[in-house]
Amino acid sequence: MNNFILFHKGIIPNHLKYCIRQILQTQTNFKVYLLTDQRVIIDGVEVIDINDYNVELDQLSYYKNDRDPLWRTSFERFFYIDKFITKNNLSNVIHFDNDIVIYGDVSEIIDILEREVDEIAITPHKETELVCGFMYIKHSTTLKLLCNYLFELAKVGEAELQRQLNSMPHEMRLLGHIQSITDNYITSLPVTPYGPGNNLFDKFNMVFDPSTYGQYFGNNNTIKPQDTDRLADRFIGTKTIPLFEKVPSLHLPQEDKNIPIFNLHIHNKHLNLFIYND
């Protein structure tokens, strides 16, 4: 069984409901869990109270009092997910941000993920950053090492981490750093037919969206010039043209073929514009 685990602190937003709705419509042989601090009932979802889990993060000041709670929440979710999947001995875990619309059925690619991924697979955003547009966790013990690394990095503090990494040390950058210092622990999923993860592209014959394609469709088919350091942006309007006709794809003009996009990361939160209406 494929286990979808979502995480949210605070009042449940509408876009998360659409995210869940799309999972329920597209998947087979699966279960959906929502780890949250809210008392809610959502059809088709097992809601897990995160207050039942002792996650020892209080000693870490890492973005603890930042005016944008996203940075702290994005970091600490991995610790809660680790506790939950360890307690329940879950494997084949799928996790992604709450503004994701998924189109492919994980059951159709799970054999590839199990065979090709040693521990974790995530969508790369930049050469040095990973984003949970799609994340695969192979075993119940897989996240232990990641959480250990994140904990030790966060102990250093934001200011020193920014100096060392030459970048804002949000969780995306920390994930990229951990990938760079470990061997085959974090596998890059293909976000274009080329670049990081392209060794898996021929196996999937599809790409995954870290953030770019969802932003492209959500912002009237445009990208900002300053975003071209992001891996997928480099190919929009040059080697690929994103299309959306009920489901998203990339058109490769030189090869005259379309490549499915497995998911979309809709940053503007208007997920209702990109889900099935059957």
Three-class DSSP labels, 10-74: CCCCHHHHHHHHHHHHHCCCEEEEEEECCCCCCCCEEEEEHHHCCCCCCCCCCCCCCCCCHHHHH
The pLDDT value given to residue 227: 56
The pLDDT value given to residue 96: 98
Q: Which two tokens stand for residue 240?
A: 């690929």
Non-local (6+) Cβ contacts of 246 within 8 A are 276
195-200 contacts, C-beta under 8 A, 24 or more apart: 195/231, 195/234, 196/124, 196/127, 196/231, 197/124, 200/112, 200/116
CA 177 to chain centre: 16
Rounded to two decimals, the pTM is 0.94
Do residues 94 and 2 lie in contact, with contact meaning Cβ atoms separated by under 8 Å? yes
The pLDDT value given to residue 197: 60
The pLDDT value given to residue 223: 60
pLDDT tens column, 171-182: 999 999 999 999
Nearest to 120 by CA among 150, 149, 97, 141: 141
Q: Which two tokens stand for residue 97?
A: 């941000």
The pLDDT value given to residue 137: 98
Give the H or E element holding residue 164.
helix 158-165
Nearest to 103 by CA among 265, 269, 267, 268: 265
Architecture of domain 2-204: Alpha-Beta Complex (3.90)
Strand pairing category for 2-8 and 30-36: parallel
The pLDDT value given to residue 224: 56
Count CA atoms closer than 13 A to 222's CA, side-chain side: 5
Q: Give the Å distances, CA to CA, from 198 to 36, 69, 142, 166, 206.
A: 35, 34, 23, 27, 10
Q: Give the Å distances, CA to CA, from 231 to 94, 105, 250.
A: 22, 24, 14
Is the CA virtual torsion 120, 11, 168, 229 positive or negative? positive
Q: Tell me the sheet residues that pair with 135.
A: 95, 122
pLDDT tens column, 187-224: 999 998 876 667 899 999 999 999 989 988 888 666 65
Instruction: Give the chain's largest Cα–Cα span.
Output: 55
pLDDT < 50 positions in the chain: 225
Ranges of CATH 3.90.550 domains, the chain: 2-204
Residue with tokens 């489901």: 247
Alpha-carbon distance of 97 to 192, in angstroms, equals: 20
